[in-house]
Amino acid sequence: MRKNRLLALALAAIATTATWAQEDVTSTYIDNADFSQGTVITKGVTTYAYDIYDATNNTKGKDANGSGLQTGVTGWTPNYEGSTYYIQKEGTEVPGNGCSGGIYTYGGTAWLGAPANVVPSADTDEEGIASGNALGITNVWTHKGFYSQTAKSALSAGSYKMTIRMYCKPSGNNTAIAENLFGYVESDGTTHYGSTTSFSTSGWITETITFTLSNADQGTFSLGYEAANAGIANVPKFFIDNVTLESILANKEELLALITEAEAKAEGASIGDQLFQVSEEDKTNLEKQISNARAVYNNSKATQDQVDAACETLENALDAFQSAVNLPDPETPYSIQQKSSKLYLNLEGEKAAISETNTPFYFTEGEDGWYYITDGTNYFGLSTANKWDTSTNTDTKSKITVEPKTLDEGLYYYILTKTTDNTKQCLGSDNTAAGSALYSDKTREQDNSYWIITEMAGDGLTLDETETTAISDEYTDTDVTLKRTLVAGWNTIVLPFDVDASTAESVFGNGYEVATFSNDVQLKDEIVLNYTSASAITANTPSLLYLKAEVQNPKFEGVDVKPTTDLTVSGTYYDFVGTYVYLTDNSPIVSGDYIVNNAGIALANGGNKLKAFRAYLKKKSGAGARSVKFAIDGTTAIGSIETEAAAPLYNLKGQRVIAPQQKGIYISDGHKKLIK
């Protein structure tokens, strides 16, 4: 079922159906559609088809064929079904089939069925269409009489409109027919006939038949009807002026609107797993459906059914895409911080302002993807005086939407208000001092228009390994959750708070080990990185952490958060560097650096990613092309690895080894090498 957002479009499309683009394809598929070719009837034709009436001499002459009278019409084949009548004529039984037809000239004296049914003059057609000749048809007593023509070539798949302009001469009180045979019959026998079965008005009429072909088809055009159980006095007589066939080009207005909407959403999508972002896979799926829909839209031969199916598919894709967006939880508090001032949104007083107080805010859902922002008491809003002055009055709360914006420094957001004239304007301030008022008349790309929105874990703090903005605020006696899985084995870690031995054992479990970087020394052809065991983690100091079992999302209670920007422990050949942000496309990790994990020491090749609250080894000048080994309290740990300039290392089975974990003999550059 189509969603409400498209209801107006759908109704508009229905209202404009009659104006859909059409292409006249009559000459492509139909011969002699105006009946200009064929033998013209000059004498009256009786319905029972046993004689021809000579209006000029007032005499009757027997039909030369002796049975059935439907005279030749070029390109059209006469058809009749029903029992043969044997009619007494001057004492002799003459056969007839109850069907008559042929070509008439407008304004002539020939008649159809009875002398009273003379072909009309062309100028009686108020639409001015009638000209030349007309095809006359009349049938009686349940007989079927019709002309048919196989299409000159296969009709392309699509929708068509067949229009038959004709003069109807009804007789008596009963002008009903048993079956309408005006229309198109597909090659498999599927019929598309007109719906009119009663003709009560004498004069010019138009019979219109619309049909859709799912596949190319070379069927048959039909002109005629099956008579009711009545004689010539009570059946209609038709004089058909012409037949037209038009290809109905599918209405694609709704599809175009959906494509436009989908393209805007895909183009504006921010990729990631943060608030108001979507995954790369979800965006790719939407773009694929946009491409498919665009192909249908650009297909001039697309049927309405194909267009409708494309609309439904794309609309479902849009719904799936919208559902995939990481939207705010209405029960979760969020911190809203201005990028330029490092101050926070505040709703105290008459106007929204920036403040040093980090107030928790909630996003409550409005209509059509809009939200309201509240601190639980007040709502962000626009004053009634204009479209940009802010207010904290609940009665004037305003809808907002949020758009992610990725800068070199990280992920930020625009907070956009919905004004009274349905435009979007950015929230920002003129100044960066505490207490500065906020206004909704700012533009994108202004420093004061960027905001940082982060989840606040209840009364505590959540540190997410995918953060792209470094933590900078201090917190006292706060519960902190680290959104990260610490694996069994070796990890690197850096935290903006101290973790004492008691807390470490409670959080990490028995058997945990902590080691801090002391120094590095060169011993022959290798560099040894010396670490010292510790029982606690020191704030802002990158460390190695060993666990016996995996720990997911560890929580630290009652800690004092005091982040710094200097997270480096320096050595002679390498620095051990921590990070509070997810290092992605603009990663400072370059070729020659090392990433440390439970698998060993991984040599960076440039552009390596590293999630937040981890550390890596930064190569310094003078390190040279030497292998690297870890030592904790003088004992080798984790393993060693050759640098990019060293020859590959193989075990005695001929298998290449990147980071040997076992002591023994290895082969390098054709020589044996002992790893201790």
* pLDDT tens-digit map of 8-31: 333 333 333 334 568 899 999 999
Tell me how far the alpha carbon of residue 385 is from its chain's centroid.
40
Closest among 511, 456, 493, 475 to 578, alpha carbons compared: 493
**What is the pLDDT, as a whole number, of residue 663?**
64
Count of residues making up the chain: 676
**What is the pLDDT, as a whole number, of residue 359?**
86
* pLDDT tens-digit map of 432-459: 999 999 988 888 888 899 999 988 755 6
Please tell me the pTM assigned to this model. 0.47
* Cα torsion through 578, 584, 590, 595, rounded to 10: 50
- Residue spans of beta strands (DSSP E) within 484-582: 485-486, 489-493, 513-523, 526-534, 543-547, 551-552, 555-561, 568-569, 574-579
% the chain with pLDDT above 70: 81
* pLDDT tens-digit map of 481-492: 998 989 888 899
% the chain with pLDDT above 90: 40
Q: How sure is the predictor about 85, in pLDDT bands with cuts at 50, 70 and 90?
A: low
The answer to which of 36-50, 341-355, 420-434 has the lowest mean pLDDT is 36-50
Q: What is the mean pLDDT of the chain?
A: 82
Please check the confidence at residue 641 and state whether its pLDDT lies above 80: no
**What is the pLDDT, as a whole number, of residue 127?**
81
Q: Residue 616, Cβ neighbours under 10 Å: how many?
A: 24
**What is the pLDDT, as a whole number, of residue 575?**
95
Q: How sure is the predictor about 661, in pLDDT bands with cuts at 50, 70 and 90?
A: low
Task: Give all domains of the chain, ordered by start, each with its CATH number.
Answer: 20-248 (2.60.120.200), 251-324 (1.20.1270.90), 334-455 (2.80.10.50), 461-645 (no CATH), 648-676 (no CATH)
In this prediction, residues 109-116 reach a mean pLDDT of 81
Q: How sure is the predictor about 165, in pLDDT bands with cuts at 50, 70 and 90?
A: very high
In this prediction, residues 564-569 reach a mean pLDDT of 94
Please check the confidence at residue 57 and state whether its pLDDT lies above 70: no
Q: Residue 553, Cβ neighbours under 10 Å: how many?
A: 13
**What is the pLDDT, as a whole number, of residue 58?**
37
Please check the confidence at residue 525 and state whether its pLDDT lies above 60: yes
Give SS3 for 107. Answer: coil
**What is the pLDDT, as a whole number, of residue 194?**
96
Please check the confidence at residue 363 and state whether its pLDDT lies above 80: yes
* pLDDT tens-digit map of 381-390: 887 667 778 8
